[in-house]
Amino acid sequence: MTEQTSPLVSFYKQGWENYQQALVKTIAALSSEQLALPIAAHTRSIGELLDHMIGARFNWFYLWMGEGDPALDWNDGDDNDEPTLSRPASLIAMFEKSWHVISSVLDRCTSADLEQLVSPAASHQAWLRNQGKPEEVAHTRQWIIWHVLEHEIHHGGELSLALGSNGLEDFYTW
């Protein structure tokens, strides 16, 4: 008998998928100039914020959990001199590629999978030591999935604030 996908993961997937679609819709409405706008002078631009969110997806799902095809290019696939974070189509491509990895994990994750401990790579631990930071502890796959989701919710609020403070339509998930 094979174990069924976790009902908890099934619950999260629908909401996260709606969130993903709202992100893509929001990004599609932005120009390169608008992606360069920050909330305030000392904060990330909208494009940098979105790039940061993609980076977290890559770090936790690929580098930590080893999810996704090793040949998958987490970049936008464009050889363009303009930074990816200033091109709406590139950001959309990266959000969509990373969503396919996340969606695949959520589709097949069982309760046993969620309990699996994942240790950080030795290279990551060495980097932390070189920075004078404490080493990272192992995390369960459940913790990682929740952590990335809460990271996106947090930065979605920041995105909405950045858009609204610059007179642009808010990021809205309904």
Residue 128's CB is within 10 A of a number of other CB atoms, namely 14
Q: Above 90 in pLDDT, residue 32?
A: yes
Q: How far is CA 167 from the centre of its chain?
A: 25
Residues 91-104, mean pLDDT to the nearest whole number: 94
Residues 95-123, mean pLDDT to the nearest whole number: 92
Residues 18-46, mean pLDDT to the nearest whole number: 93
Residues 103-120, mean pLDDT to the nearest whole number: 92
Structure tokens at 12: 């999260």
Residue 140's CB is within 10 A of a number of other CB atoms, namely 14
Distance, CA of 155 to CA of 76 (rounded, Å): 21
Query: According to the annotation, is 151 in a ligand binding site?
Result: yes
Q: What is the pLDDT of residues 124-168, one digit of tens each?
A: 899 899 999 999 999 999 999 999 999 999 999 999 999 999 999
pLDDT band with cut points at 50, 70 and 90 for residue 174: low
Report the share of the chain in percent with pLDDT over 70. 87
Nearest CA to 141 out of 169, 173, 109 is that of 109
Nearest CA to 44 out of 164, 162, 165 is that of 162
Is the domain spanning 7-165 CATH 1.10.240.10? The answer is: no
Quick one: pLDDT at residue 77?
Answer: 47
Nearest CA to 88 out of 26, 38, 45 is that of 26
pLDDT band with cut points at 50, 70 and 90 for residue 1: low
Query: According to the annotation, is 42 in a ligand binding site?
Result: no
Q: DSSP letter at 81? A: S
pLDDT band with cut points at 50, 70 and 90 for residue 122: confident
Query: According to the annotation, is 52 in a ligand binding site?
Result: yes
